[in-house]
């Protein structure tokens, strides 16, 4: 399956995993994306940008979705995404970043 496929809101599987607090799924997808000679790596190489920083229709990355939640559990997700290379400087369509 292509991890960059989007739903009607432009969310990828990673966005959905973040929104549903699926930490194991988040880690698995990111592990597979960086595994050498992984089938997923081949797919990702054809996608513009990095899987972790793909933006939905609102311009939100998985990190932006996690940071905007007030839950402590989302803080853990944010830390995972940052450690895996998520870019906190990416702006959404309102010009806001994960640092706002």
The arithmetic mean of pLDDT across residues 39-51, rounded, is 56
pLDDT score of 34: 62
The backbone region for 59, taken as left when phi is positive above 0, alpha when psi lies in -120 to 50, beta otherwise, is left
Going by C-alpha positions, the residue among 100, 94, 26 that lies closest to residue 67 is: 100
pLDDT digits (tens, 9 = 90+) for 23-40: 898 888 887 766 655 655
Q: How many Cβ atoms sit within 10 Å of the Cβ of residue 84?
A: 19
Going by C-alpha positions, the residue among 3, 13, 60, 78 that lies closest to residue 35 is: 3
pLDDT score of 48: 45
Tokens describing residue 12: 């990828």
pLDDT digits (tens, 9 = 90+) for 59-96: 999 999 999 887 777 788 888 899 988 999 999 999 99
pLDDT score of 45: 54
């Amino acid at each position: 399956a292509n991890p960059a496929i989007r739903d009607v809101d432009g969310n990828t599987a990673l966005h959905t995993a973040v929104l549903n607090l699926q930490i194991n799924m988040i880690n698995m997808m990111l592990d597979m994306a960086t595994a050498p000679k992984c089938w997923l790596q081949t797919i990702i190489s054809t996608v513009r940008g990095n899987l972790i920083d793909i933006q939905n229709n609102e311009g939100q990355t998985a990190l932006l979705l996690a940071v905007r939640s007030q839950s402590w559990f989302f803080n853990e997700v944010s830390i995972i995404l940052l450690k895996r290379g998520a870019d906190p400087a990416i702006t959404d369509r309102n010009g806001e970043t994960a640092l706002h």
